[in-house]
A and B are shown apart, each in its own frame.
Chain A
Amino acid sequence: MSASLSLRTVDKIYHPRGRSAVHAVKALSMDVERGEIVALLGSSGCGKTSTLRMVAGFEAVSAGEISLANRRIERLAPAARNVAMAFEGYSLYPPLTVRENIAFALKRGRLSASEVSRRVQEVAALVEIEPILDRYPNAISGGQQQRASLARALVRDAALYVLDEPMGQLEPQLRAVLRGRLKRLLKDRAMTSIFVTHDQTEANALADRIAVMEGGVLQQFAPQHVLKEKPANLYVATFIGEPPMNVFDASVVRDAGRTTFELDNGPSFGFGDNELAPEVRQAIGNRRKVVIGVRPHRVALGNGSAETARVISNQWLGDQSHIAMAVAGKLLVAVSHARVRAAIGESVPYGVRAQDLHIFDSDTTVALAHGARAA
């Protein structure tokens, strides 16, 4: 597959000559393949929306190149980029009905009236706005406006679909249904798409690959399971996952065929050389300090575990128990898909297996090892 959208060392600096210059996006390079769905994920201020706005043409790049279907677009006006978009600020035309707004997006396509009508109907059914097609934008709710705006983007034939928090204002139930339909539509028609979200569930459900951004820098760009199993650094590890990874500062002690991670003000986890793979030991090298992590779903609870910890909370969510324990002055969260009957204040046995251990450099925060493999 060939890259459809390509960003090369793109920078965005707001107020570059002012005293309060903000470097919102830093040397961002990434490729989106044809027909691929990509999510830009991060907390507010991470640079994801600035990136999307540069792709759409609402912001100029401060440096770097953006190409779409082998054509440089970073200097083109939004309308000249062959990009369909749904943005929060890119509102519907108030004097037109919802139906006219959606149909208007097809105007330049020289389609027959019946074809336009068929397409509008089809996309309206997809996002469930058929009953409000003849209403005016200011007479419908924020959630309905958002869906109308999404429909207006999806109805077009474009080289790229750019969506800004496409379902941010919708109710959870509707959101779940729309995600499935939207993914099917985008995949069936091989619509190359890039969207911004702060919601991992949304990113996981829709995207083929997820670009995690923080501080204007692309942290990792990979499919969901890779972000989960092999997070590139501590930021990704503690951002991805619900709940996120438990992490602790630890001192490394090597002693007669055994590696022990001593948590600051907490317990120690020791592993024999038969447990901790050689390449993992090699990745740790001579480091005296590391950060170790374990995903909540991988914390082993119950008898046979070496350590005990006091239960701070135990919450049953119908199909899973979330148990928070006091470990090394922090919370260690364990998730079990069976119901765990542990009272608050009770001590419960728990352990961490070598195969579930993630190890990070304590200075650079870059991953050193995941389970039995070096990073």
Chain B
Amino acid sequence: MAQIEIRNLHKTFKDDPVLKGLSLSVERGEIVTLFGPSGTGKTVLLRLLAGIYPPDAGTISLRGRDASGSPPDKRGIGMAFQNFALFPHMTARENIASALTARKTNAGEISRKVEAVAQLLKIGHVLGHSPRELSNGQKQRTALARALVADPDILLLDDPLRNVDAKLRYEMRLELPALLKRVGSTVLYVTQDFKEAMALGDRVAVLLDGQIAQCDTPARIYAEPVNVGVARLFGDPTLNLIGVAPQLVDGAPEIRLGGSRIRLPAGYSTAAGGRYLLGLRPETLRLVEAPAPGTVAVELVAVTPLNEKSVLLLTMQGGEELLASEAGDRDEPRRTGPAHVAIDRDALLLFERESGRRFIPAENGEVAHERIAITSHR
């Protein structure tokens, strides 16, 4: 039984449909990160779950029971939203404790729990401050502490690290999953940062166009995105997309890329004759000295540092641009000029031009034919 079960949820504001038949289930104790571009309705979904406003259609079940009609305070959900909503007349300590005092926990127990959660979130030193004496990052962590301290079995977090500075945010990214697992809550965590989504989530739910486009483990979301929209949201820099038209040449699928012929794995045979977008992750492209089968002639235009990587801007024959990224340091910096780039055939992605759906290659060429045969006999 899923702890959170959302079925076919619809919500329209004025004439703007935000959620269009969204379904998602989250298992007990699972952390699901909800990720998508801004304005796609992530916060709206959390508010519907919290009962702050009702859906136009669809159902929400919590702990196996239909939650429709149950008011926010009866849903037993812990929340930390972007607009901190701290009580201005209370100290950080009192704000955090307010989640417990309502439940008549004894004072010693309250104080112990508040200290413990404040320590974990690194706000132990500002517990005596009032909200207006706190930085935005500290306010945000106070709100998070207030949500965590009551050990809620369902926790909704709306981008709780958004205003936290980069260094602390990174530390929290490392430590938060273990903390949440210790509390044992079922967590739906909204973020705008794909790295945070991948790092924190047992699964990542990608919200696009009012629906969950894909909900999967971070590794699968990255390696096997269901469509081009999902693929573009992950990766830094984001993947290269190039229009291609695969053909069968001597029975093997092939594409033309910047004047070179690139043979695809046999599983792509049935893509021949269609119009596709080739998706190449920058880190799968490798610069090589000499041309070889599976390489494309390029011009290395510029090298720019991106964190611990180098991003190489390449142009192919015909002027189309490619980004490649290299990890690690080189003894000698790359020099701009003519070069060749090797395409990793096992890492490439192919998307249908019209629908954007990923073409799923058959395991090998023969299996693909078998499947076709079976379908045609039905």
0 or 1 for each of B36-68: is its CB under 8 Å from A? (1 = yes): 011000000000000000000000000000000
In the complex, A319→B347 CA distance in Å?
12
Measured between beta carbons, the chain B residues less than 8 angstroms from A188 are none
Measured between beta carbons, the chain B residues less than 8 angstroms from A242 are 166, 170, 307-308
Measured between beta carbons, the chain B residues less than 8 angstroms from A339 are 219
Within 8 A of B (CB), among A160-217: 171-173, 176, 180, 183, 198-201, 204-205
Please tell me which one of the listed residues A224, A297, A322 contacts residue B199 in the complex, with CB atoms under 8 A apart: A322
A64 at the interface (CB under 8 A from B): no
A22 at the interface (CB under 8 A from B): no
A324 at the interface (CB under 8 A from B): yes
Within 8 A of A (CB), among B295-309: 304-308
Measured between beta carbons, the chain A residues less than 8 angstroms from B304 are 183, 204-205
Closest to B313 in A: A180
Asked if residues B308 and A241 are in contact (CB atoms below 8 Å), the reply is: yes
Measured between beta carbons, the chain B residues less than 8 angstroms from A344 are 178
Query: How close is A226's CB to chain B, nearest CB, in angstroms?
Result: 11
Closest to A199 in B: B166
Please tell me which one of the listed residues A43, A200, A324 contacts residue B174 in the complex, with CB atoms under 8 A apart: A324
How many B residues have CB within 8 A of the partner chain? 39
B195 at the interface (CB under 8 A from A): yes
Asked if residues A333 and B167 are in contact (CB atoms below 8 Å), the reply is: no
0 or 1 for each of B226-245: is its CB under 8 Å from A? (1 = yes): 00000010111110000000
Measured between beta carbons, the chain B residues less than 8 angstroms from A205 are 304-306
Query: How close is B373's CB to chain A, nearest CB, in angstroms?
Result: 36
B356 at the interface (CB under 8 A from A): no
Asked if residues A316 and B175 are in contact (CB atoms below 8 Å), the reply is: no
B177 at the interface (CB under 8 A from A): yes
B218 at the interface (CB under 8 A from A): yes
Closest to B171 in A: A331
A315 at the interface (CB under 8 A from B): yes
Q: A43-B165, A205-B304, A241-B308 are in contact. Are A316 and B171 (CB under 8 A)?
A: no
Asked if residues A313 and B165 are in contact (CB atoms below 8 Å), the reply is: no
In the complex, A317→B217 CA distance in Å?
11
Measured between beta carbons, the chain B residues less than 8 angstroms from A198 are 165-166
Measured between beta carbons, the chain B residues less than 8 angstroms from A173 are 37, 232, 238
Asked if residues B175 and A337 are in contact (CB atoms below 8 Å), the reply is: no
In the complex, A168→B192 CA distance in Å?
14
Measured between beta carbons, the chain B residues less than 8 angstroms from A180 are 313
Asked if residues A225 and B327 are in contact (CB atoms below 8 Å), the reply is: no
Asked if residues A224 and B305 are in contact (CB atoms below 8 Å), the reply is: yes
In the complex, A331→B176 CA distance in Å?
13
Asked if residues B328 and A337 are in contact (CB atoms below 8 Å), the reply is: yes
Within 8 A of A (CB), among B316-342: 325, 327-328
Asked if residues B327 and A316 are in contact (CB atoms below 8 Å), the reply is: no
Q: A171-B38, A239-B167, A344-B178 are in contact. Are A316 and B305 (CB under 8 A)?
A: no
In the complex, A261→B178 CA distance in Å?
30
B114 at the interface (CB under 8 A from A): no
Q: A173-B232, A320-B327 are in contact. Are A312 and B281 (CB under 8 A)?
A: no
B198 at the interface (CB under 8 A from A): yes
Q: A176-B237, A201-B306 are in contact. Are A319 and B177 (CB under 8 A)?
A: no
In the complex, A242→B169 CA distance in Å?
11
Within 8 A of B (CB), among A212-236: 224-225
Asked if residues A318 and B306 are in contact (CB atoms below 8 Å), the reply is: no
Closest to B136 in A: A44
Asked if residues B167 and A316 are in contact (CB atoms below 8 Å), the reply is: no
Within 8 A of A (CB), among B193-230: 193, 195, 198-199, 218-219, 222-223
B94 at the interface (CB under 8 A from A): no
Asked if residues A204 and B307 are in contact (CB atoms below 8 Å), the reply is: yes
Please tell me which one of the listed residues A171, A183, A243, A318 contacts residue B198 in the complex, with CB atoms under 8 A apart: A318
In the complex, A101→B198 CA distance in Å?
42
Closest to A205 in B: B304
Asked if residues B307 and A318 are in contact (CB atoms below 8 Å), the reply is: no
Measured between beta carbons, the chain B residues less than 8 angstroms from A224 are 305
Asked if residues B308 and A297 are in contact (CB atoms below 8 Å), the reply is: yes
Within 8 A of B (CB), among A286-308: 295, 297
In the complex, A305→B192 CA distance in Å?
37
B254 at the interface (CB under 8 A from A): no
In the complex, A43→B169 CA distance in Å?
13
Asked if residues A331 and B328 are in contact (CB atoms below 8 Å), the reply is: no
B5 at the interface (CB under 8 A from A): no
In the complex, A43→B85 CA distance in Å?
25
B30 at the interface (CB under 8 A from A): no
A244 at the interface (CB under 8 A from B): yes
B283 at the interface (CB under 8 A from A): yes
A238 at the interface (CB under 8 A from B): yes
Measured between beta carbons, the chain B residues less than 8 angstroms from A333 are 174
A368 at the interface (CB under 8 A from B): no
Measured between beta carbons, the chain A residues less than 8 angstroms from B198 are 315-318
Measured between beta carbons, the chain B residues less than 8 angstroms from A171 are 37-38
In the complex, A205→B236 CA distance in Å?
13
Q: A43-B165, A173-B238 are in contact. Are A319 and B308 (CB under 8 A)?
A: no
A24 at the interface (CB under 8 A from B): no
A335 at the interface (CB under 8 A from B): yes
In the complex, A297→B326 CA distance in Å?
13
In the complex, A339→B165 CA distance in Å?
27
Query: How close is B222's CB to chain A, nearest CB, in angstroms?
Result: 4
Asked if residues B175 and A243 are in contact (CB atoms below 8 Å), the reply is: no
Measured between beta carbons, the chain A residues less than 8 angstroms from B305 are 204-205, 224-225
Measured between beta carbons, the chain B residues less than 8 angstroms from A244 are 167, 170
Asked if residues A312 and B235 are in contact (CB atoms below 8 Å), the reply is: no
Asked if residues A315 and B174 are in contact (CB atoms below 8 Å), the reply is: yes
0 or 1 for each of B89-102: is its CB under 8 Å from A? (1 = yes): 00000000000000
Asked if residues B178 and A318 are in contact (CB atoms below 8 Å), the reply is: no
Interface CB pairs A-B, < 8 A, 15: A171-B38, A180-B313, A201-B306, A201-B307, A204-B304, A204-B305, A205-B304, A244-B167, A315-B198, A317-B198, A318-B222, A318-B223, A320-B327, A331-B175, A339-B219
- Residues in A lying within 8 Å of B, measured CB to CB: 43-44, 171-173, 176, 180, 183, 198-201, 204-205, 224-225, 238-239, 241-244, 295, 297, 312-313, 315-320, 322, 324, 331, 333, 335, 337, 339, 344
- Residues in B lying within 8 Å of A, measured CB to CB: 37-38, 135, 165-167, 170-171, 173-175, 177-178, 192-193, 195, 198-199, 218-219, 222-223, 232, 234-238, 281, 283, 304-308, 313, 325, 327-328
Pairs A-B, 5 closest by C-beta atoms: A318-B222, A315-B199, A337-B327, A319-B283, A242-B307
Task: For the A-B complex with A317-B199, A333-B174, A337-B283 known, give 18 more contacts whose Cβ atoms are closer than 8 Å.
Answer: A173-B238, A199-B166, A200-B166, A201-B306, A239-B167, A242-B307, A242-B308, A297-B328, A313-B177, A315-B174, A317-B198, A318-B234, A318-B235, A319-B235, A319-B283, A319-B327, A320-B327, A337-B327
